Structure 1
Amino acid sequence: MNRRYFLGVALSTVAAPVTASSFFSRRPTERPRVLSFRHLHTDDLIEVTYRIGDTYQRSALQRLNYFLRDFRTGEVAPIDPRLFDILYDLKLSLGDPDARFDLISAYRSPSSNAQLRKTSGGVARNSLHMRGQAVDVRLPDLSTRLLRDAAVALERGGVGYYRRSDFVHLDTGEVRTWGA
């Protein structure tokens, strides 16, 4: 056996307690951030740790980008990670860290957005959905009115309330609200 091997083993045993103790002394904001979704159009499910401490997890973001793709065209685009932070903080503010969001819409290609504008009211010409900065969601066991109120209280980005369609729009644009 060589000397480097023994030195490596010795250093790893000395370093292990430091790593473990620093893990247990983390601030609550440094806990792994987990999001869970059910896509209402595809019935797909995902649960992913997208951020640990201040570090976004690249592979998790890629999985979320794919999950939040335009389900009409299959196009994938990068989703603004600040949107995930809003969703995470929203479920914590509601007292349900294990909440699973029902996803109605996320990324929309320009062609899907144009198609929706023709057939639906309230679809913006320059929708933040086309930039990967917006999602439409609900929580299965919570009224969308309460979800909207909690999102407005966060004061981060846009919050739209669609009572008849039973969902809340969240985005990373300017702070603003609309809907009844």
Structure 2
Amino acid sequence: MPHRIVQNRRSFIKTLAGTAAGFAGTSAFGAPLIKNPGLERKLTLNNLHTGEKLTAVYWADGHYMPEVLKEVDHLLRDHRSDTSIEMDRQLFDLLYLLQRDIGLNKEFQVISGYRSPKTNEMLRKNGNGVAKKSFHMQGKAIDIRVPGVPLKDVRKMALRLKSGGVGYYARSNFVHVDVGPVRHWG
């Protein structure tokens, strides 16, 4: 019988964490990514494959800006298939925090945002170390670099946030960040 009680307690805790994650500005584990929800949040992105650049306030007056988010989703689309999805808003908050630590006037050069299942499979078959169930396909991951900031420093700052996965790809010159479970590689 004690085994059953532990199992129920675990289920209860998971349910609480899942419920808490449903609120804007929280991580998958219920902890707020951004402590002051009143702050304006802005990102500067440069999609290296399409040449599109965007500097946009995606959060203001205590809420996400839907029209701006559509522009960001479009910029982060799969350039191979020209398809986009609604990216996970927590990913934007993670990028905002990372950009704040790096320097608010710095841009993120985007190597890969959303990936369609077809693109993901093609990259997997080409042996690029792509995960079969990549968070890119769910709009929860992005591969980036920051001009003028050493890649190892971007990695270090991302690891300090403890807000998801961090992959270090020195040979390919990018850092992967996602809002999945906290882990790191590379």
Shorter-chain TM-score bucket reads 0.7 to 0.9
TM-score by length of 1: 0.81
Question: Structure 1 counterpart of 2:66, which letter?
Answer: R
In 1: Cα distance, 2:120 partner to 2:100 partner? 31
* Aligned residue number for residue 108 of structure 1: 115
Structure 2 residue 170 is the aligned partner of structure 1 residue 170: no
Instruction: Give the secondary structure class of the aligned counterpart of 1:142.
Output: coil
With structure 2 as the length reference, what TM-score do the two structures score? 0.79
Q: Tell me the equivalent position of 1:140.
A: 147
Give distance in 1, aligned partners of 2:101 and 2:47: 22
Picking from 50, 55, 66, the partner of 1:58 is: 66
Q: What secondary structure sits across from 1:30 in the alignment?
A: coil
Matches within 5 A, 1:23-42: 30-42=38-50
SS of 2:167's equivalent in the other structure is strand
Read off the aligned partner of 2:109 and give its amino acid letter.
D
Give ranges in structure 1 of 5+ residues lacking alignment. 1-26
Aligned-partner Cα distance in 2 for 1:80–1:178? 22
The match for 1:85 is: 93
SS at match of 1:48: strand
Residue type of the alignment partner of 1:81: R
Aligned to 1:124: 131
Instruction: Provide the identity percentage.
Output: 40
Q: Quote how far apart the aligned CAs of 1:42 are.
A: 1.1
Residue equivalent to 1:99: 106
Q: Which amino acid aligns with 2:46?
A: R
Instruction: Tell which structure's C-alpha radius of gyration is larger.
Output: 1
Give the deviation of 1:31 after TM superposition.
Answer: 2.7
What letter matches 2:149 in structure 1? L
Which amino acid in structure 2 is aligned with residue 125 of structure 1?
K
How many residues are aligned here? 152
Once the two structures are superposed, residues 63-106 of structure 1 have per-residue CA deviations (whole angstroms, 9 ceiling, x without a partner) of 11111010000011010010011111011122x11211000000
CA RMSD for the aligned pairs?
Answer: 1.3
Question: Whole-Å Cα distance in 2 between the matches of residues 121 and 75 of structure 1?
Answer: 21
Matches for 1:153-164 after TM superposition, within 5 Å: 153-164=160-171
Counterpart residue number, 2:54: 46
Cα distance in 1 for partners of 2:157, 2:80 equals 30
Please state whether the residue corresponding to 2:78 is helix, strand or coil. coil
